[in-house]
Structure formats: structure tokens, C-alpha cells
Chain A
Amino acid sequence: MATSETICGQPMDRVDGHLKVTGRATYAADVRLDKLAYAALVLSTVSSGRIKHIDSAPAEKSAGVLAVITHHNAARLHSQEQEKRPGVDPEVGEPLSPLQDAVIRYHGQPVATVISETFVQATYAASLVHVVYEDSSGINDFNAAAAKAKPPTPVKGGKPGKSADYQRGDSAAALAKADVRVDAKYSIAAEHHNPMELHATVASWDGARLTLYDKTQWVDNVQEQVALAFRLDKENVRVISPFVGGAFGAALRVWPHVLIAALAARHVKRPVKLVLTRSQNFTIPGYRPKYLQNVSLAATREGTLTAIEHEGIGQTSIYEEYTESLLDTTRQLYACPNVKTHYRLAAMNVNTPASMRGPGEVSGVFALESALDELAVALKVDPVELRLRNFAKEDPEYNLPWSSNSLQACYRQAAQRIGWDQRTPAPRSMSDGNQLIGYGMATATWPAKRLPASVRVQLKQDGSASIETAGSDIGPGTYTALTQIAADALGLAASQVTVVLGDTNLPTAPVQGGSMTIASIGSAVHEAATAMRNKVIKLAQEDPQSPLHRAVASDIEVKAGRLSLHKAPHTGESYAQLLQRHRQETLELTHSSKPGDETKKYAMRSFGAHFVEVRVDRDLGNVRVARVVSAFAAGRIINPKTAHSQAIGGIVGGIGMALLEHTRWDSRNGRIVNSNLADYHVPVHADIHPIEAFFIEETDMYSNPIGTKGLAELSIVGVAAAIANAVYHATGKRLRDLPITLESLL
């Protein structure tokens, strides 16, 4: 399908790029409404206990203040029944309903909001709210919590590994009689998403109707949850979010500040804007949880894996059990008959963690792929060769054939491009002046999933078309990719297609998460646009005035908005001519699309391989990722340019995870001590050296109608393991704790 004839497969510039670079793309915090007031939050300064007393009088008297809302005067919010919770919420526990009670669950929990005429007045007045706590010592130390870790509470239909222990074969027996085994313990620091755009909500009531301008990855869910909290009909809540300045999972859920903005606007009877500060972005939305992981591998002398045991202990809050697909890869990546996985939770007085790019798999794969490297060293087998020897020809967990799997090609082509054969296997065997050079690699994988989605297509009398759906574009280039898919299906130029997103008034769409958007919404657009094209063809066939009257449908093609016969291109007419003759302003149809039984017949995953070169200062311990070469097999690539941007972005995120990002709680009181971008380190330009990301051409006949598999999450999975493995090769030091810091290499 990706021929030069099609627009899909072309490296098209972003259709919204111009709006973004000229500042005309409207983000939530950009919204200005008449009589807009501003809210600021007051957060708890203890991690556990109760509010004994709140003195809001000084704040109320402060200039410009309209109201102070605490649990004493906040309207009651209703919470969702557990069974009806959206997939982005934890399956067990109670989401934090803000300003509803005196209970303090974590440090940085909202306890009051101040609404003022201006932002500056609101933030100043918030500093005057005096809160007295009854401080009961909370669980602020992860190691202490991990020592008491428990299995997740079983839930109905809980998936193995996400909520239940998993076992196939007899791993204990295989480990006992292994030729070679590796037993290692890994740890990963918590990380915060820190998208450039701060979380923000503007709430505006008109009687019983509420409009929210929100930073979110899922407008339909915000509508549903907010309607429920305020006992409103869903139709009376409209959520608008046409542009999102990065999210990485931080805006999947409806976080407390969204409800607070709506509460505040109702309280002061004016529209209210609430923009979280950078620091508040650390304790209102979630973050990637800390993990401790134990991995045991058994193998024969020849390097055939005979057992994998993988246990993960993940951080969660005391009010919700956050679990993610930490151990899924371990059960699916390698052909191994004996596998056991255990998931445990360490509950602390922290806000609930959340999905962050590559959630679960990125953490689990760090441990698994580091352990594989340790096994390669123990076996004296090349790490690439070890992986090829244990390649899973079908999914070993569900015993299903892969819908497509080009992992072997990823290994081979990326290895060749980085010059893997020049690598001398012994640690510390390669150097350049003060720098030790190391090469490392690891596997990337992510499940290819698809959710139901609906799309409305309008074909207009001028021959242009619009595509409308509630889905989001948080930055990957969804507007552009959907434009390309629609243009191909309709036989239009890309410039004739307009995509409208991010509004609950549009046909319902799933969350933009899990790398499912193109598979879900892209498939719906493809099907809807194809249906529209067929509808127009039918109109022509049945129209005696049309040159295509009584033509056979399969003989008709549409190119650049003109219907014609394949074999007689002069016989035909344009969409515009046909619609004008029929006096149709527009033709419109809405189409819903959902996965079929292919999910029961095939296992579906994207795959990839990261190869990195690191340079480690032999005296000072600094690690520089000098080069990354990554191959991705993610089905059909709709737009190689935006896909490439997404891939290198994921790799940069992986470099951050490996070397820099580390959210630190002070274990004395559970307060985060680096909740700003000067102390929480993400990579800067100067940290990033050449990154070569490329795609393996792959045709997936089964994943969905357009043959895509998802890329965003995939690109970060495995990066940290590849870097740690390269650091071992450079220095001979096996570092099992992320992030890797220079002091561990002195």
C-alpha cells in the first residue's frame, strides 16, 4: 500500500506545524473567557494524618480573592463505582476525590483552592492559607514498604501478570539443574513525565451545563467522569482539547485538579482557570513508579533458555493499587518452556503512580534485557546471537502465531549499521584517550492493540472533506497521519482534507495511549472514508447524467477528487461536479470501527532493537551516549517523518531514564525534594548525540485494516538496558540500578 501513489508512507510535514510554531494552536491554558477568574492550589505538607484546622481568613482578605474552598465548604463530589471505572484508572482502590474530607493520604495532596481575579493574586493568597495537621507518620520509605510488599488484590477478569501470578512449566526445577544461571536484582527510580505543557483546566458553567478546556489524552473519559462526579447528564458536559503539549501518559486519567477547576467555577459563578505549577505537576498527576526486580535465568551451555523467573515490586499509593504490564514481555519475548512471574505492590503515602511512556514493559524489559546480557557474558556468547537462539517463533504465552514479527531483521540490520562486528567482546577493551568505549544492545517490544472508535466524514460540494473524531493529538502527529489515511481512502490530495479532533461533541474515540491511536482511529478513518468513497461511486453509477452511469464499481477509481474508469481515464467526473449536480451541500456519514476475532487468532506485538555506543570518562565517570542505532518493526508506517520524530523522542526518553531522571522523596516526611526542572534532570540538547532510527518494512495482514502496529511506546522500551549493557562493556561494571550516576563509575 505504501507506494509512491499513496499519501500514506510519505514523509509529510505536520498539517498543524504552522499553527504550533506561530503560537496559534490553542492549548488549555491559552483559553481566555469573559470574566475569567484564576485558581491556585494549596497542597498538604504532611504525608499522612488529618487536617485539624484550616485558617483561610487571611487569604480571604487578600487583594482580589473571590473565595477559598476547602473540604468544609466544597460541594460534594460523587465517585464512580469500581466496575464502571475507565481502563486508565487502577482496578482496585478509590480515586482521590479532592477537597471532600480531612484525610491526608500523601504529601502534596490538594487541601484548598483560592480563586482570585488574577493568577498572581491567587498564588500569593494561597500562600496565606494556614493549615494545621494531625500528623500520623506515613509510609515514606520505599525499601520499608517493599519489605512488606503484597500481591495485588485479585479482581474479576484480572489479567495474569498484571494482577495475578503466572507460571508455565517448572522454572524451579530448570534453575536447579541449569548449566549456567544468572540471578540478579535491579532497581529503577521513579520518574515524572514532565511534558513541556503544564496541566491546565478552564471550567465554565452555563446553568447546569459545563464546558471544560482541558489538557487530556481522552476527552470522552473526562466528560464521563466529571458528569458522574457532579451528577450531570453526560450531554451537559463538553470537553475541548484540540492541542496537547506532550503528555506521555500524564494526562490519561482525570486528575483532582480537573474536578477542582469545575468546583471552583461553580462556587464563584464565573469561569475559572487552573494551571498547575511545575512543582504541583509532581503530586497531582502520577508518575512512573519505583521498582525492585529479581530476575533468574537458566540456560544450557549452548545458550538455550530453560527458565526465567521474574519478580517485580512496584510502588503504589495507600488509596489505589496501581499495576501495569511489567512482566508481560518476560512471558512473551523468548521461547522458554519454564517461566514464572510475580507482581507485588509496595504501598506508600504517595500519590498514585500512572502510565508513563512504555508503562510496565519499559521497566520490566530493563531487568530482563540486562539479565540476558549478563547471561551472554556468563556463556561467552554474543548478546545478539543469544537472542537469536532464543527467538520465539510464536507467542509462547498464548501459543498463537505472530501477526507479524521482524525482530530478527531488527537485530541484524541495526547491528550492521552500528558496526557491531567491530566490537571486541571483552570489557574495557575499547578506548579513545580518556574515554572507555562500550557497545550494548537490547530488545524493544510493545503489544499492538486496537480499540473501538467512531469517525464522521463529510464530503463537501467543493470537493474537500473533513474528518471528525473526539480523539486527541498529544504531539505524535495524529492530525497529519489521519489526514494521509483519509486522503488515500477518499482519493483526495492531503490539502483537501481537514481533520478535527479533541471535542466531546465529535464521534466517540478511545484514549490516546498505549500506541493504539492509529490502529484504532486510523482504522476507523480508513473504513469511514472508504465507505464515503463507495457511497459517491454508487451515486454516480445510479445517476443517468453521470459519465459513470452503470459503470462497474470495481472499474472506478478516485484520484485527486475525480472519479474515472481505470481503463478510460477520460470518462469520469469530480466529486465536486457530482455533488453540485445533486445539489448536495455535503455528504456525511459516521462509521464505527472495532477489532474482530483476529485478536483471538494472532499474537500482535511491535518489535525493535536498540544498539548504543557509550563513552565513559575513565577518571570522572561521566557517561555519554555517543550514538544510538535503533531498528523498529511496527507494521506499516503512515508517516516516516513524524514516526521518526516519535522514535528519536522515545530514545531520548530512554537516555533520561538510564542516566538522569530520578524523582526523590525525602523519606523523613514524604515530600519530593526535586520537583522542578533544574533539580529533576531530563536530557538537554547537549546530552544527545547522533540517533539513527529506522523502520523495517513490514506488512501485517492481521493487525487492523491499515496494517499498523504502534510505535510510540516501543521506541523507549529497551533503551536503558542497551545503555547499561554498553556501560558494562566499556567499564566492566555491571550497574543494575537506574539512573546510572557517575559516582557508581568512579
Chain B
Amino acid sequence: MQQFSYSRAPDIAAALQQSKDHGESKYLGGGTTLLDCMKLHVETPAHLVDVNHLANRIEVKSTTIRIGAAVRNSDLAYHEVIRTKFPVLSEALLAGATPQIRNMATVAGNLLQRTRCTYFRDTTWPCNKREPDSGCSAIDGFNRSHAILGTSDKCIATHPSDMCVALIALDAVIEAEGPRGKRQIPMRDFHVAYGEDPIKESVLEAGELITAVEIPELPFYARSHYLKVRDRASFEFALVSVAAALQIEGDRITGARLALGGVGTKPWRATEAEQALVGRHPDENAFVEAAGVALRDARPQRDNGFKIELAKRSICRALGVVARMK
């Protein structure tokens, strides 16, 4: 690990100031990604501003739920309102990592989680995400776990988060505060597909700090589910994951939310597939059709072609589960 300095910010304003005072600084949440990457020399910040103790409340409001940036993944997953009104989010969180990691990892940290691409995490390989224009080692390498959506010839790394897949399905909004003031960023605009610009992973600007995530509460979010498919039953990133919610009135789908994990270079919202579901009977035909739409632009690599079929089947499975929920 490279040497670094450290400060603990008493409040958000101080955090912004401390970040500004130190050139190459990073905000430190649970550290479950950042410290990991620092040990690998993938991240080499000169300074860490500790924001662990700031913004760690969950506020249940009349039409939204507001989650402080430093709320731990475990606390969020087991929160009564999240479990009952946003089951997809609770399930996504609990599908991630291990209890020990979830007890440390924060909401904001999870939003900024770095990819698990083995070539990114090993500094002996060229990687466009670490060093611009050095080349992508994954494209001609071992790429079973890599993305099939949002890729380019510069980067095919998969966005690793489970939580983000649920948040994008639920139209969450991110609150951030930076040198130029406060702003709200819809989840679907927050991440930038790695394929576009491997270095830029989100629209967050230098020094900007995530302070909260707000989710609108729609009644049909209670009818939601997160399905994660992987080789082993725990402590593994998704090969494919699906966040799904359905609003069913009578025998018709009147609202749908569908997002994919493990397949995209960012948390992947399948908006067109959602549109294809609306107005249909919630049956296998509709699900198969929507799955086809969702994967229409998928581009396989040498080792991950199976993800296209696996993702389609996973979408059908998840939608089937949601449709049968009471």
C-alpha cells in the first residue's frame, strides 16, 4: 500500500473543504472497495477524508424514503420499510458480499464500487480504465464474467453492484454536494457506461460527495424481486442478476420495472423491455418477448456468450416470481 494521509470530517462542509485542501483525495466510507484497491495499488490516493459517521440516517417520508449516504448495507437491508415496501432492494443488498462486508459497506460506497475485472485489479496488465489508451486486456483474455451490454473496444468490464441494479429499477435519486453546491442526480443518469469512457464511471465531479439516496415510494414496488445467478451460493458477483417489479391490475401489466446486473458496464435499466410488458397479460409469452428486447443489443465476448441466454431465462424467472406474488 502506498502511504497516505487521513482526516476525519466533522460535517459535510468540512469534508468538502478537506477534500479541496488535499489534491488527490478520496472520501472513505466502509473502505470495502477503496482499501482493497489501495492494497492492490489500483487506487493510490494521497489523502483520505473519512465520512463514515456523516449522513447515516434512514428517514421514512410520506412519499419517499431517504437513505443517508453512510448507512451500512446491512442496516438498509434489514430496515422494516425496505423489507416490506422495497423487497427488491433488500434482496439485492443481501445477495451481495458477506455479512461482514455488508456490515461495513455504505450506500454511497456501493454506488461507487469499482469493477471486479481481474485485469483492472492487477496492475501488471494494460487496462484503459487504469491508464488511458494502454489497451484492454480483457477483450482477448479470460472474459467469462465480463459485460455484454454497454461495452466498447476500449472496455468490457462489468459493473459489480447488486444494490445499484435495484436502485436503478426503483428510479432512485442521488443527492450530492460539491464545490458548486447541492444537486440531485437521477440514478439512471448517474453511472456512465465504462465502454464510453473507461476512466469516467459516474457523473460525479471532483470533490463532490454523495450525501443521500432518495427513493419514491410506489405501491407496486412491494411486488418486486431480485434474482441473482452465480456459480456459488454466496460471496460471488453476479453472472446475471435481475431486479423486477410489476404493477398488475386485473389481468394486465400496467407498470413494470426491469434492470439487469452482471451483464452491463453500468447498472442496466431495460426501459424498452418494460414498455413491451405494459398492457400485456403477465404470462410466459410476454416475459420471453420482453427478455428478447432487453438483450437485443447484447454483444458477447469469447467466454461469456452464455450470458445472453442466461439473462433472458433469468428475466423470465424473475418476472414469473413477481407476477405470482400476492
Residues on A lying within 8 angstroms of B by beta carbon are 45, 120, 123-124, 127, 434, 619-622, 624, 659-660, 664, 666, 668, 671, 673-674, 678-679, 681, 683-687, 741-743, 746
Q: Min CB distance, B22 to chain A, in Å? A: 20
CA distance A497 to B97 in the complex (A): 45
Query: Which of B232, B239, B310, B316 is in CB contact (< 8 Å) with A686?
Result: B232
Q: Is the CB of B41 within 8 A of A127?
A: yes
Given A620-B310, A664-B142, A746-B313, 8 other A-B residues pairs in contact with their CB atoms under 8 A: A124-B2, A434-B317, A666-B141, A668-B141, A678-B237, A681-B236, A686-B232, A743-B306
The 4 closest A-B pairs by CB, nearest first: A686-B233, A743-B306, A686-B234, A619-B313
Question: Chain A residues with Cβ under 8 A from B124's Cβ?
Answer: 45, 671
Please name all residues of chain B whose beta carbon is closer than 8 Å to the beta carbon of A45 when the two chains form the complex: 124
Q: Is the CB of B310 within 8 A of A687?
A: no
Let me know if B234 and A619 touch, CB within 8 A.
no
Q: How far is the CB of B38 from chain A (nearest CB, A)?
A: 11
Beta-carbon contact of A620 and B231 below 8 Å: no
Q: How far is the CA of A577 from the CA of B232 in the complex (A)?
A: 61
With a cutoff of 8 Å between Cβ atoms, the chain A residues found around residue B236 in the complex are: 678, 681
Q: Are A746 and B142 in contact (CB under 8 A)?
A: no
Neighbouring A residues of B232 by C-beta, 8 Å: 659-660, 681, 683-684, 686-687
Decide: B116 and A678 in contact? CB cutoff 8 A.
yes
Contacts known (A619-B316, A673-B142); A742 close to B118, Cβ less than 8 A: no
How many B residues touch A, CB cutoff 8 Å?
A: 29
Measured between C-beta atoms, what is the minimum distance from A445 to chain B in Å?
29
Contact A742 B231, beta carbon cutoff 8 Å: yes
Interface of chain A, main secondary structure: loop
Contact between chains at A673 and B122 (CB < 8 Å)? yes
Inside 8 A of B1's CB, which chain A residues have their CB?
120, 123-124
- Chain B residue nearest to A107 in the complex (CB): B124
Q: How far is the CB of B4 from chain A (nearest CB, A)?
A: 11
Interface residues of B in 218-253 (CB under 8 A from A): 229, 231-237, 239
Q: Which residues of B contact A746 (CB under 8 A)?
A: 306, 309-310, 313
C-alpha spacing A743/B306, complex, angstroms: 6
A124 with B317, Cβ < 8 A, contacts A684-B232, A684-B234, A743-B310 known: no
Encoded as 1 (CB less than 8 Å from any A CB) or 0, chain B from 86 to 102 comes to 00000000000000000
B3 interface contact, C-beta 8 A? yes
A685–B3 alpha-carbon span in the complex (Å):
37
Which residues from B are CB-within-8-Å of A619? 313, 316-317
B residues with a Cβ closer than 8 A to A are: 1-3, 41, 116, 118-119, 122, 124-125, 140-142, 229, 231-237, 239, 306, 309-310, 313-314, 316-317
**Contact across chains for B118 and A668 when beta carbons are under 8 A apart:** no
Q: Is A687 within 8 A of B142, CB to CB? A: no
Write the nearest CB–CB distance from B144 to chain A, whole angstroms. 8
Contact of A622 among B41, B141, B229, B234 (CB under 8 A): B229
Q: Which residues of A contact B235 (CB under 8 A)?
A: 678, 684
Q: How far is the CB of A738 from chain B (nearest CB, A)?
A: 13
Q: A620 contacts B229, CB within 8 Å? A: yes
A-B contact pairs, 16 of them (CB 8 A): A619-B316, A620-B314, A620-B317, A621-B310, A659-B231, A666-B142, A673-B122, A673-B141, A674-B118, A678-B235, A683-B232, A684-B232, A686-B232, A687-B233, A742-B229, A743-B306
Closest to B118 in A: A673
Return chain B residues, CB-CB under 8 Å to A664: 142
Which of B2, B122, B233 contacts A684, CB < 8 Å?
B233
Q: Which A residue's beta carbon lies closest to that of B314?
A: A620
Q: Which residue of B lies closest to A743 (CB)?
A: B306
| Given A120-B1, A622-B229, A660-B232, also A679-B41 (CB < 8 A) | no
A742 touches B239 (CB 8 A): yes
- A678 vs B235: C-alpha distance in the bound complex, in angstroms? 7
A668 to B141, CA, bound (A): 8
Output the least CB separation between B250 and chain A (Å): 27
**C-alpha spacing A624/B229, complex, angstroms:** 13
Chain A neighbourhood of B310, CB < 8 A: 620-621, 742-743, 746
Please indicate the chain B residues that have their CB under 8 angstroms from the CB of A622 in the complex: 229
Residues of chain A lying within 8 A (CB to CB) of residue B316: 619
CB distance from B227 to the nearest CB of A (A): 9
Chain B hits for A659, CB < 8 A: 231-232
Residue of B nearest to A46 (CB): B124
B234's contact among A434, A671, A673, A685, by CB below 8 Å, is which?
A685
Inside 8 A of B309's CB, which chain A residues have their CB? 746
| Distance to closest chain A CB from B37 (angstroms) | 13
Q: Which residue of A lies closest to B239 (CB)?
A: A742
Distance of B45 from chain A, by nearest CB (Å):
15
Q: Note all chain B residues with C-beta closer than 8 A to A687.
A: 232-234
Least CB separation from B98: chain A residue: A684
B231 near A741 with CB under 8 A, answer yes
Contacts of A679 in B (CB 8 A): 116, 118
Report chain A residues within 8 Å CB of B233. Answer: 624, 684, 686-687
Assembly CA distance A666 to B118 (angstroms): 11
Distance in angstroms between the alpha carbons of A124 and B1 in the assembled complex: 6
A730 vs chain B, min Cβ distance (A): 17
Within the complex, what minimum Cβ distance (angstroms) separates A373 from chain B? 24
**Cα(A429)–Cα(B236), bound, Å:** 32
How far is B313's CA from A620's CA once the two chains are assembled, in angstroms? Answer: 7
* Alpha-carbon distance between A534 and B193 when the two chains are bound, in angstroms: 80
Q: Which residue of chain B is the closest to A120 with respect to CB atoms? A: B1
> Measured between alpha carbons, how far is A45 from B124 in the docked complex, in Å?
7
Residues of chain A within 8 A of B125, CB atoms compared: 671
Q: Which of B3, B41, B231 is in CB contact (< 8 Å) with A681?
A: B231
Bound-state CA distance A666–B302 (Å) is 13
Question: How far, in Å, is A624 (CB) from chain B's closest CB?
Answer: 8
On chain B, the residues within 8 Å of A684 by CB distance are: 232-235
Return chain A residues, CB-CB under 8 Å to B141. Answer: 666, 668, 673
Give the CA-CA distance A674 to B144 in the complex, in Å.
Answer: 12
Distance in angstroms from B309 CB to nearest chain A CB is 5
CA distance A686 to B122 in the complex (A): 29
Most buried by A among B1, B140, B142: B142
Min C-beta distance of B102 to chain A, whole Å = 14
Q: How far is the CA of A674 from the CA of B142 in the complex (A)?
A: 10
